[in-house]
């Protein structure tokens, strides 16, 4: 087994009267165990210049890495929009199948669990055709 940790810190000195400081570290285990996840796509990078809907991770695909992702496992997906923020109006919509999750602006990142059920692809749609680069990584069982 491998030991992979994901740590987050959320901090602000002025969003509330008292400083906000949230931190957590989790070890990425397989579902219901203390055994670490041992499979990953590695860090990948995708460059695109389209405002069309694009599949980033094709769940249930017959072949390739996606086929190996166990449905309803303890899979995690990291995605980062590495573009500069610019004027703050450009973003990439991240979707699960047809449902929008949210917007990743330039510099934003996210870490979510992923059911990887058949057809529950992780997709994205950019707000315009500006060249955009996403980095992503899947930890899975």
Residue ranges in contact with another protein by CB under 8 A: 2-16, 20, 22, 24, 26-27, 29, 31-34, 36-38, 40, 42-43, 72-76, 78, 80, 85-89, 91, 93-94, 96-105, 107-117, 120, 137, 139
Q: How far is the CB of 49 from another protein (least distance, A)?
A: 21
DSSP, collapsed to helix, strand or coil, labels residue 16 as coil
Instruction: Give 100 or 131: the residue with its C-beta nearer to another protein.
Output: 100
Token reading at 110? 């996210």
Q: 111 vs 15, 55, 75, 102, 104, CA distance in Å?
A: 23, 17, 10, 12, 12
Q: How far is the CB of 129 from another protein (least distance, A)?
A: 18
């Amino acid at each position: 087994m491998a030991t992979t940790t994901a740590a987050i810190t959320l901090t602000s000195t002025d969003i509330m009267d008292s400083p906000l400081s949230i931190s957590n570290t989790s070890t990425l285990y397989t579902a219901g165990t203390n055994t670490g996840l041992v499979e990953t796509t590695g860090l990948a990078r995708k460059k695109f210049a389209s405002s069309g809907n694009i599949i980033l991770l094709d769940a249930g695909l017959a072949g390739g890495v996606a086929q190996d992702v166990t449905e309803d496992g303890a899979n995690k997906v990291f995605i980062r929009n590495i573009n500069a923020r610019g004027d703050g109006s450009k973003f990439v919509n991240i979707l699960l199948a047809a449902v929008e999750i949210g917007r990743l602006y330039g510099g934003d990142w996210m870490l979510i669990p992923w059911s990887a059920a058949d057809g529950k692809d992780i997709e994205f749609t950019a707000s315009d055709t500006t060249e955009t680069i996403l980095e992503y990584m899947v930890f899975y069982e």
